[in-house]
Amino acid sequence: MSDYKLLINGQLVAGDMTMPVINPATEEPVAVCARASKGQLDQAVAAAKIAFPAWSRTTMDERRAVLVAIADVIQANLTDLARLLTQEQGKPLADATGEIFGASAFFRYFASLDLPATVVTDDATSRIEIRRKPLGVVGCIVPWNFPMILMAFKVPAALLAGNTVILKPAATTPLTALKLGELIKDIVPPGVVNIISDANDLGGEMTTHPDIRKISFTGSTETGKKVMASAADALKRISLELGGNDALIVLDDVDPKEMAPKVYGAAMQNAGQVCIAAKRIYVHESMYDAMCDELVKCANAAVVGDGLEQGTQMGPLQNKAQFEKVMGFIESAKQDGKVIAGGGRKGDKGYFINPTIVRDIAEGSKLVDEEQFGPVMPVIKYSDPADAVRRANASIYGLGGSIWAKDSNRAWDLATEMESGSVWVNKHADLQPHLPFGGAKFSGIGSELGEDGLKEFTQVQVLNMAR
Protein backbone atom coordinates (compact mmCIF):
# COMPACT_ATOMS: atom_id res chain seq x y z
CA MET A 1 0.00 0.00 0.00
CA SER A 2 1.39 3.36 -0.99
CA ASP A 3 1.92 6.24 1.46
CA TYR A 4 1.66 8.78 -1.31
CA LYS A 5 -1.99 9.20 -2.21
CA LEU A 6 -4.02 11.34 -4.57
CA LEU A 7 -6.01 14.29 -3.26
CA ILE A 8 -9.51 14.14 -4.71
CA ASN A 9 -12.43 16.11 -3.28
CA GLY A 10 -10.62 16.73 0.00
CA GLN A 11 -9.86 13.03 0.55
CA LEU A 12 -6.55 11.19 0.29
CA VAL A 13 -7.29 8.38 -2.11
CA ALA A 14 -5.24 5.35 -3.15
CA GLY A 15 -4.52 5.26 -6.85
CA ASP A 16 -6.32 2.73 -9.03
CA MET A 17 -2.74 1.80 -9.87
CA THR A 18 0.62 2.35 -8.20
CA MET A 19 4.05 3.14 -9.57
CA PRO A 20 7.61 3.23 -8.24
CA VAL A 21 9.51 6.52 -8.11
CA ILE A 22 13.23 6.15 -8.76
CA ASN A 23 15.95 8.07 -6.94
CA PRO A 24 18.19 9.20 -9.81
CA ALA A 25 21.28 9.14 -7.58
CA THR A 26 20.91 5.46 -6.71
CA GLU A 27 18.54 4.08 -9.38
CA GLU A 28 16.66 2.50 -6.46
CA PRO A 29 12.98 3.22 -5.70
CA VAL A 30 12.36 6.05 -3.21
CA ALA A 31 8.75 4.99 -2.76
CA VAL A 32 5.77 3.47 -4.45
CA CYS A 33 3.07 6.08 -5.05
CA ALA A 34 -0.47 6.35 -6.31
CA ARG A 35 -1.05 6.42 -10.04
CA ALA A 36 -4.42 7.80 -11.07
CA SER A 37 -6.65 6.20 -13.67
CA LYS A 38 -8.64 8.18 -16.23
CA GLY A 39 -11.69 7.54 -14.01
CA GLN A 40 -9.90 9.16 -11.06
CA LEU A 41 -8.99 12.16 -13.19
CA ASP A 42 -12.68 12.46 -14.05
CA GLN A 43 -13.58 12.27 -10.35
CA ALA A 44 -11.06 15.02 -9.57
CA VAL A 45 -12.42 17.24 -12.33
CA ALA A 46 -16.00 16.61 -11.20
CA ALA A 47 -15.05 17.57 -7.63
CA ALA A 48 -13.31 20.72 -8.85
CA LYS A 49 -16.35 21.62 -10.94
CA ILE A 50 -18.71 21.19 -7.99
CA ALA A 51 -16.38 23.20 -5.72
CA PHE A 52 -16.02 26.08 -8.18
CA PRO A 53 -19.21 28.12 -7.59
CA ALA A 54 -18.69 28.41 -3.82
CA TRP A 55 -14.93 29.03 -4.10
CA SER A 56 -15.36 31.66 -6.79
CA ARG A 57 -17.75 33.55 -4.49
CA THR A 58 -15.39 33.64 -1.52
CA THR A 59 -13.83 37.01 -0.79
CA MET A 60 -10.26 37.81 -1.74
CA ASP A 61 -9.41 37.89 1.95
CA GLU A 62 -10.75 34.36 2.43
CA ARG A 63 -8.66 33.11 -0.48
CA ARG A 64 -5.61 34.99 0.73
CA ALA A 65 -5.96 33.30 4.12
CA VAL A 66 -5.91 29.89 2.42
CA LEU A 67 -2.78 30.80 0.41
CA VAL A 68 -1.00 31.99 3.56
CA ALA A 69 -2.01 28.81 5.40
CA ILE A 70 -0.55 26.74 2.53
CA ALA A 71 2.65 28.82 2.66
CA ASP A 72 2.85 28.22 6.41
CA VAL A 73 2.39 24.46 6.16
CA ILE A 74 5.02 24.22 3.40
CA GLN A 75 7.45 26.18 5.54
CA ALA A 76 6.65 24.13 8.64
CA ASN A 77 7.54 20.97 6.67
CA LEU A 78 10.53 22.48 4.87
CA THR A 79 13.09 19.93 6.02
CA ASP A 80 11.03 16.84 5.12
CA LEU A 81 9.85 18.25 1.80
CA ALA A 82 13.39 19.28 0.82
CA ARG A 83 14.75 15.83 1.59
CA LEU A 84 11.99 14.19 -0.41
CA LEU A 85 12.62 16.57 -3.30
CA THR A 86 16.30 15.68 -3.35
CA GLN A 87 15.45 11.99 -3.29
CA GLU A 88 13.05 12.15 -6.20
CA GLN A 89 14.64 14.95 -8.24
CA GLY A 90 18.35 14.58 -7.47
CA LYS A 91 19.30 18.20 -6.73
CA PRO A 92 21.60 19.01 -3.80
CA LEU A 93 19.75 19.35 -0.50
CA ALA A 94 20.61 23.06 -0.15
CA ASP A 95 19.02 23.73 -3.56
CA ALA A 96 15.99 21.61 -2.68
CA THR A 97 15.61 23.58 0.54
CA GLY A 98 15.76 26.80 -1.47
CA GLU A 99 13.13 25.49 -3.87
CA ILE A 100 10.69 24.53 -1.10
CA PHE A 101 11.21 27.83 0.67
CA GLY A 102 10.70 29.60 -2.66
CA ALA A 103 7.41 27.75 -3.16
CA SER A 104 6.12 29.00 0.19
CA ALA A 105 7.31 32.53 -0.65
CA PHE A 106 5.43 32.45 -3.97
CA PHE A 107 2.19 31.51 -2.17
CA ARG A 108 2.77 34.48 0.14
CA TYR A 109 3.52 36.76 -2.80
CA PHE A 110 0.24 35.89 -4.55
CA ALA A 111 -1.58 36.38 -1.25
CA SER A 112 -0.43 40.01 -1.40
CA LEU A 113 -2.10 40.67 -4.77
CA ASP A 114 -5.55 41.92 -5.62
CA LEU A 115 -7.79 41.88 -8.69
CA PRO A 116 -9.77 45.07 -8.29
CA ALA A 117 -12.42 46.12 -10.78
CA THR A 118 -11.34 49.18 -12.77
CA VAL A 119 -13.99 51.87 -13.09
CA VAL A 120 -13.59 53.29 -16.59
CA THR A 121 -16.62 55.59 -16.66
CA ASP A 122 -18.89 56.74 -13.85
CA ASP A 123 -20.98 59.73 -14.95
CA ALA A 124 -24.55 60.84 -15.53
CA THR A 125 -24.96 58.61 -18.61
CA SER A 126 -23.22 55.36 -17.68
CA ARG A 127 -21.11 53.30 -15.35
CA ILE A 128 -18.54 51.02 -16.95
CA GLU A 129 -16.27 48.66 -15.05
CA ILE A 130 -13.62 46.20 -16.23
CA ARG A 131 -13.74 43.15 -14.03
CA ARG A 132 -11.68 39.96 -13.82
CA LYS A 133 -13.68 36.76 -13.47
CA PRO A 134 -12.31 33.29 -12.71
CA LEU A 135 -12.38 30.71 -15.49
CA GLY A 136 -13.54 27.57 -13.69
CA VAL A 137 -11.51 24.37 -13.34
CA VAL A 138 -7.85 24.93 -14.21
CA GLY A 139 -5.37 22.16 -15.03
CA CYS A 140 -1.80 22.81 -13.86
CA ILE A 141 0.77 20.54 -15.55
CA VAL A 142 4.31 20.62 -14.21
CA PRO A 143 7.67 19.14 -15.37
CA TRP A 144 10.33 17.34 -13.33
CA ASN A 145 13.14 19.88 -13.07
CA PHE A 146 11.54 22.15 -10.43
CA PRO A 147 8.45 20.25 -9.24
CA MET A 148 7.60 22.56 -6.35
CA ILE A 149 8.57 26.03 -7.49
CA LEU A 150 6.85 25.57 -10.85
CA MET A 151 3.74 24.31 -9.03
CA ALA A 152 3.90 27.57 -7.03
CA PHE A 153 3.99 29.66 -10.24
CA LYS A 154 0.53 28.31 -10.99
CA VAL A 155 -1.56 27.04 -8.10
CA PRO A 156 -1.66 30.16 -5.87
CA ALA A 157 -2.42 32.41 -8.85
CA ALA A 158 -5.21 30.12 -10.04
CA LEU A 159 -6.71 29.96 -6.56
CA LEU A 160 -6.48 33.66 -5.81
CA ALA A 161 -8.32 34.41 -9.04
CA GLY A 162 -11.16 32.16 -7.82
CA ASN A 163 -10.54 29.01 -9.88
CA THR A 164 -10.39 25.44 -8.68
CA VAL A 165 -7.40 23.31 -9.56
CA ILE A 166 -6.23 19.94 -10.84
CA LEU A 167 -2.47 19.70 -10.25
CA LYS A 168 -0.52 17.07 -12.15
CA PRO A 169 3.19 16.67 -11.44
CA ALA A 170 5.59 14.91 -13.83
CA ALA A 171 5.63 11.12 -13.80
CA THR A 172 9.18 10.90 -12.44
CA THR A 173 8.74 13.51 -9.65
CA PRO A 174 5.26 13.12 -8.15
CA LEU A 175 6.16 12.65 -4.48
CA THR A 176 6.52 16.23 -3.25
CA ALA A 177 3.24 17.18 -4.93
CA LEU A 178 1.43 14.19 -3.37
CA LYS A 179 2.97 15.04 0.01
CA LEU A 180 1.68 18.58 -0.43
CA GLY A 181 -1.79 17.12 -0.91
CA GLU A 182 -1.51 15.42 2.46
CA LEU A 183 -0.41 18.69 4.07
CA ILE A 184 -3.16 20.90 2.60
CA LYS A 185 -6.03 18.41 2.80
CA ASP A 186 -7.63 20.15 5.77
CA ILE A 187 -6.62 23.68 4.75
CA VAL A 188 -8.32 23.87 1.38
CA PRO A 189 -12.08 23.24 1.02
CA PRO A 190 -12.86 19.85 -0.61
CA GLY A 191 -12.47 19.88 -4.39
CA VAL A 192 -10.73 23.26 -4.57
CA VAL A 193 -7.31 21.66 -5.08
CA ASN A 194 -7.04 18.11 -6.42
CA ILE A 195 -3.70 16.44 -7.00
CA ILE A 196 -3.28 13.45 -9.27
CA SER A 197 -0.15 11.64 -10.42
CA ASP A 198 0.19 9.72 -13.66
CA ALA A 199 2.66 7.70 -15.69
CA ASN A 200 2.83 10.42 -18.37
CA ASP A 201 -0.58 9.34 -19.65
CA LEU A 202 -3.10 11.81 -18.20
CA GLY A 203 -1.74 15.15 -19.46
CA GLY A 204 -3.40 14.64 -22.83
CA GLU A 205 -6.64 13.63 -21.10
CA MET A 206 -6.55 16.90 -19.19
CA THR A 207 -6.03 19.03 -22.28
CA THR A 208 -9.06 17.47 -23.97
CA HIS A 209 -11.26 17.28 -20.87
CA PRO A 210 -14.51 19.20 -21.52
CA ASP A 211 -14.81 20.44 -17.93
CA ILE A 212 -11.30 21.91 -17.65
CA ARG A 213 -11.44 25.52 -18.84
CA LYS A 214 -7.75 26.33 -18.85
CA ILE A 215 -4.43 24.52 -19.01
CA SER A 216 -1.40 26.14 -17.45
CA PHE A 217 1.45 24.07 -18.83
CA THR A 218 5.19 24.01 -18.20
CA GLY A 219 7.28 21.54 -20.13
CA SER A 220 8.94 20.92 -23.45
CA THR A 221 8.11 22.72 -26.66
CA GLU A 222 7.12 19.44 -28.33
CA THR A 223 4.54 18.66 -25.65
CA GLY A 224 3.45 22.31 -25.62
CA LYS A 225 2.49 22.03 -29.29
CA LYS A 226 0.37 18.98 -28.48
CA VAL A 227 -1.32 20.89 -25.64
CA MET A 228 -2.12 23.74 -27.99
CA ALA A 229 -3.51 21.45 -30.70
CA SER A 230 -5.66 19.40 -28.36
CA ALA A 231 -6.99 22.44 -26.50
CA ALA A 232 -8.40 23.83 -29.74
CA ASP A 233 -11.55 21.72 -29.84
CA ALA A 234 -12.95 23.10 -26.59
CA LEU A 235 -11.34 26.54 -27.15
CA LYS A 236 -9.59 25.99 -23.87
CA ARG A 237 -7.44 28.82 -22.54
CA ILE A 238 -3.77 27.90 -22.44
CA SER A 239 -0.56 29.32 -21.15
CA LEU A 240 2.60 27.58 -22.23
CA GLU A 241 6.01 27.88 -20.56
CA LEU A 242 8.26 25.86 -22.83
CA GLY A 243 11.84 25.09 -23.69
CA GLY A 244 14.69 27.52 -24.13
CA ASN A 245 18.18 27.81 -25.56
CA ASP A 246 19.40 30.90 -23.71
CA ALA A 247 22.46 32.64 -25.10
CA LEU A 248 24.89 34.22 -22.66
CA ILE A 249 27.15 36.76 -24.38
CA VAL A 250 30.40 37.87 -22.78
CA LEU A 251 31.78 41.17 -24.13
CA ASP A 252 35.49 41.88 -24.47
CA ASP A 253 36.06 44.07 -21.40
CA VAL A 254 35.56 41.49 -18.63
CA ASP A 255 38.13 39.60 -16.62
CA PRO A 256 37.86 35.91 -17.60
CA LYS A 257 38.98 34.73 -14.18
CA GLU A 258 36.28 36.73 -12.44
CA MET A 259 33.69 35.96 -15.10
CA ALA A 260 34.10 32.18 -15.51
CA PRO A 261 32.49 31.07 -12.22
CA LYS A 262 29.46 33.22 -12.98
CA VAL A 263 29.08 31.77 -16.47
CA TYR A 264 29.58 28.29 -15.08
CA GLY A 265 26.88 28.85 -12.43
CA ALA A 266 24.43 30.22 -15.00
CA ALA A 267 24.80 27.07 -17.10
CA MET A 268 25.24 24.28 -14.56
CA GLN A 269 22.70 24.97 -11.81
CA ASN A 270 20.41 21.95 -11.28
CA ALA A 271 22.81 19.97 -13.52
CA GLY A 272 21.82 22.25 -16.40
CA GLN A 273 18.17 21.20 -16.12
CA VAL A 274 16.81 24.72 -15.94
CA CYS A 275 14.60 26.21 -18.64
CA ILE A 276 16.55 29.49 -18.33
CA ALA A 277 20.00 27.96 -17.89
CA ALA A 278 22.64 29.58 -20.11
CA LYS A 279 22.79 26.98 -22.88
CA ARG A 280 25.03 28.72 -25.47
CA ILE A 281 28.02 30.74 -24.27
CA TYR A 282 29.30 33.36 -26.74
CA VAL A 283 32.78 34.64 -25.84
CA HIS A 284 34.77 37.38 -27.59
CA GLU A 285 37.77 36.08 -29.53
CA SER A 286 40.19 38.27 -27.53
CA MET A 287 39.64 36.19 -24.40
CA TYR A 288 38.26 32.96 -25.81
CA ASP A 289 41.22 30.76 -24.81
CA ALA A 290 41.49 32.30 -21.35
CA MET A 291 37.75 31.90 -20.71
CA CYS A 292 37.79 28.26 -21.85
CA ASP A 293 40.70 27.54 -19.50
CA GLU A 294 38.89 29.15 -16.56
CA LEU A 295 35.67 27.28 -17.30
CA VAL A 296 37.60 24.01 -17.32
CA LYS A 297 38.88 24.81 -13.82
CA CYS A 298 35.30 25.37 -12.61
CA ALA A 299 34.10 22.09 -14.16
CA ASN A 300 37.00 20.06 -12.79
CA ALA A 301 36.51 21.49 -9.29
CA ALA A 302 32.78 20.65 -9.16
CA VAL A 303 31.66 18.06 -6.62
CA VAL A 304 29.21 15.73 -8.38
CA GLY A 305 27.29 13.27 -6.25
CA ASP A 306 24.18 12.28 -4.35
CA GLY A 307 22.32 15.45 -3.39
CA LEU A 308 21.86 14.12 0.15
CA GLU A 309 25.64 14.04 0.71
CA GLN A 310 27.08 17.11 2.31
CA GLY A 311 29.23 19.14 -0.06
CA THR A 312 27.57 17.94 -3.27
CA GLN A 313 27.34 20.77 -5.78
CA MET A 314 25.78 18.91 -8.69
CA GLY A 315 23.38 16.00 -8.55
CA PRO A 316 22.43 13.48 -11.23
CA LEU A 317 20.25 14.01 -14.28
CA GLN A 318 16.70 13.54 -13.13
CA ASN A 319 15.75 10.46 -15.13
CA LYS A 320 17.18 7.80 -17.37
CA ALA A 321 15.67 9.19 -20.58
CA GLN A 322 17.18 12.63 -19.94
CA PHE A 323 20.52 11.05 -18.98
CA GLU A 324 20.61 9.17 -22.28
CA LYS A 325 19.56 12.24 -24.22
CA VAL A 326 22.36 14.34 -22.71
CA MET A 327 24.91 11.56 -23.32
CA GLY A 328 23.80 11.74 -26.97
CA PHE A 329 24.51 15.48 -27.00
CA ILE A 330 28.01 14.77 -25.67
CA GLU A 331 28.67 12.16 -28.36
CA SER A 332 27.63 14.56 -31.12
CA ALA A 333 29.69 17.38 -29.57
CA LYS A 334 32.77 15.15 -29.73
CA GLN A 335 32.35 15.16 -33.53
CA ASP A 336 31.59 18.87 -33.83
CA GLY A 337 33.93 20.44 -31.27
CA LYS A 338 36.63 19.78 -28.69
CA VAL A 339 35.62 18.45 -25.27
CA ILE A 340 37.95 20.09 -22.74
CA ALA A 341 36.32 19.02 -19.46
CA GLY A 342 34.06 16.15 -18.45
CA GLY A 343 32.75 14.30 -21.46
CA GLY A 344 30.94 11.37 -19.94
CA ARG A 345 29.21 9.55 -17.15
CA LYS A 346 30.46 9.61 -13.58
CA GLY A 347 30.53 6.16 -11.99
CA ASP A 348 28.26 3.33 -13.03
CA LYS A 349 25.33 3.82 -10.68
CA GLY A 350 23.03 6.84 -10.80
CA TYR A 351 22.45 9.20 -13.70
CA PHE A 352 25.55 11.32 -13.07
CA ILE A 353 27.31 13.20 -15.86
CA ASN A 354 30.53 15.10 -15.25
CA PRO A 355 30.16 18.81 -16.06
CA THR A 356 31.28 19.07 -19.65
CA ILE A 357 32.82 22.02 -21.51
CA VAL A 358 33.04 21.98 -25.30
CA ARG A 359 35.07 24.54 -27.28
CA ASP A 360 35.62 25.18 -31.00
CA ILE A 361 31.97 24.50 -31.67
CA ALA A 362 29.43 26.63 -33.55
CA GLU A 363 25.95 26.82 -35.00
CA GLY A 364 25.05 23.80 -37.07
CA SER A 365 25.97 21.53 -34.18
CA LYS A 366 23.15 19.87 -32.22
CA LEU A 367 24.66 21.07 -28.93
CA VAL A 368 24.39 24.69 -30.06
CA ASP A 369 21.12 24.56 -31.98
CA GLU A 370 19.00 22.39 -29.66
CA GLU A 371 18.14 22.45 -25.96
CA GLN A 372 20.57 20.12 -24.17
CA PHE A 373 18.95 20.46 -20.71
CA GLY A 374 21.99 19.00 -19.00
CA PRO A 375 25.51 19.84 -17.77
CA VAL A 376 27.13 20.29 -21.18
CA MET A 377 28.27 23.79 -22.15
CA PRO A 378 29.18 24.85 -25.70
CA VAL A 379 31.59 27.81 -25.74
CA ILE A 380 31.31 29.68 -29.03
CA LYS A 381 33.75 32.28 -30.39
CA TYR A 382 32.63 35.60 -31.90
CA SER A 383 34.36 38.76 -33.06
CA ASP A 384 31.57 41.36 -33.42
CA PRO A 385 29.08 41.81 -30.52
CA ALA A 386 26.25 42.78 -32.89
CA ASP A 387 26.89 39.55 -34.76
CA ALA A 388 26.81 37.59 -31.48
CA VAL A 389 23.36 39.03 -30.75
CA ARG A 390 22.21 38.19 -34.27
CA ARG A 391 23.42 34.60 -33.79
CA ALA A 392 21.78 34.45 -30.36
CA ASN A 393 18.49 35.52 -31.96
CA ALA A 394 18.76 32.99 -34.79
CA SER A 395 17.00 30.35 -32.71
CA ILE A 396 13.46 29.07 -32.59
CA TYR A 397 13.58 29.70 -28.83
CA GLY A 398 13.31 32.99 -26.98
CA LEU A 399 13.04 32.32 -23.25
CA GLY A 400 15.95 34.22 -21.67
CA GLY A 401 19.37 35.57 -22.48
CA SER A 402 22.09 37.75 -20.99
CA ILE A 403 24.89 40.16 -21.85
CA TRP A 404 27.88 40.60 -19.56
CA ALA A 405 30.31 43.54 -19.63
CA LYS A 406 32.17 46.01 -17.43
CA ASP A 407 30.61 48.76 -19.53
CA SER A 408 27.02 48.10 -18.53
CA ASN A 409 25.60 50.83 -20.79
CA ARG A 410 27.03 49.04 -23.81
CA ALA A 411 25.62 45.75 -22.54
CA TRP A 412 22.21 47.37 -21.92
CA ASP A 413 22.02 48.66 -25.51
CA LEU A 414 22.80 45.21 -26.88
CA ALA A 415 20.31 43.64 -24.45
CA THR A 416 17.48 45.64 -26.01
CA GLU A 417 18.16 43.78 -29.28
CA MET A 418 17.67 40.32 -27.75
CA GLU A 419 14.54 38.43 -28.83
CA SER A 420 13.65 36.75 -25.55
CA GLY A 421 11.04 37.12 -22.83
CA SER A 422 13.67 37.93 -20.19
CA VAL A 423 17.04 39.57 -20.80
CA TRP A 424 19.54 40.10 -18.03
CA VAL A 425 22.63 42.30 -17.89
CA ASN A 426 25.52 41.10 -15.75
CA LYS A 427 23.36 38.35 -14.27
CA HIS A 428 21.35 35.40 -15.56
CA ALA A 429 18.12 33.65 -14.56
CA ASP A 430 17.04 36.20 -11.98
CA LEU A 431 13.38 35.27 -11.43
CA GLN A 432 11.32 37.34 -9.02
CA PRO A 433 7.69 36.72 -8.12
CA HIS A 434 6.51 40.22 -9.13
CA LEU A 435 8.13 40.11 -12.59
CA PRO A 436 6.22 38.50 -15.46
CA PHE A 437 8.06 35.49 -16.84
CA GLY A 438 7.34 34.09 -20.28
CA GLY A 439 8.89 33.08 -23.55
CA ALA A 440 9.06 34.55 -27.03
CA LYS A 441 8.78 32.41 -30.18
CA PHE A 442 8.79 28.63 -29.48
CA SER A 443 9.45 29.23 -25.78
CA GLY A 444 5.83 29.80 -24.97
CA ILE A 445 2.60 31.72 -24.94
CA GLY A 446 1.49 34.01 -22.13
CA SER A 447 3.34 34.61 -18.89
CA GLU A 448 3.46 33.58 -15.27
CA LEU A 449 4.17 35.47 -12.06
CA GLY A 450 3.45 39.10 -11.34
CA GLU A 451 0.08 40.69 -11.97
CA ASP A 452 0.24 39.59 -15.62
CA GLY A 453 0.63 36.00 -14.50
CA LEU A 454 -2.35 36.32 -12.17
CA LYS A 455 -4.53 37.77 -14.93
CA GLU A 456 -3.79 34.73 -17.11
CA PHE A 457 -6.14 32.85 -14.79
CA THR A 458 -9.03 35.23 -15.43
CA GLN A 459 -11.54 36.24 -18.05
CA VAL A 460 -12.02 39.96 -18.69
CA GLN A 461 -15.60 41.15 -18.27
CA VAL A 462 -16.81 44.62 -19.13
CA LEU A 463 -19.86 45.60 -17.08
CA ASN A 464 -21.57 48.50 -18.83
CA MET A 465 -24.69 50.17 -17.41
CA ALA A 466 -26.81 52.96 -18.85
CA ARG A 467 -28.08 55.65 -16.47
> For binding to ligand NAD (CB under 6 A), which residues are involved?
141-145, 150, 168, 170-171, 200, 203-204, 207, 218-220, 223, 226-227, 241-244, 275, 371, 373, 399, 439, 444
Closest approach of ligand NAD to the CB of residue 397, in Å: 9
Q: Of 103 and 170, which CB lies nearer to ligand NAD in the complex structure? A: 170
State yes or no: is 275 an active-site residue. Answer: yes
Residue 189, phi then psi, degrees to nearest 5: -60, 150
Residue 418 CA to residue 58 CA, distance in Å, equals: 43
Catalytic residue from among 33, 140, 275, 298: 275
CB distance 56 to 163 below 8 Å: yes
CA-to-CA dists, residue 313 to 296, 301, 350, angstroms: 16, 10, 15
Q: How far is the CB of 313 from ligand NAD (least distance, A)?
A: 21
Nearest approach in angstroms of CB 399 to ligand NAD is 6
Q: Which of 88, 99, 205, 241 is catalytic?
A: 241
CB of 111 to ligand NAD, least distance (A): 22
Closest CB to ligand NAD among residues 89, 218? 218
Which CB sits closer to ligand NAD, 143 or 343? 143
Give the nearer residue to ligand NAD in terms of CB position, either 351 or 373: 373
In angstroms, give the least distance from the CB of 241 to ligand NAD. 3
Query: Which residue, 223 or 420, has its beta carbon nearer to ligand NAD?
Result: 223
**CB-count exposure of residue 148 (10 Å: 0-12, 13-18, 19+):** buried
Give residue number: closest CB to ligand NAD. Answer: 203
The catalytic site residues sit at 241, 275
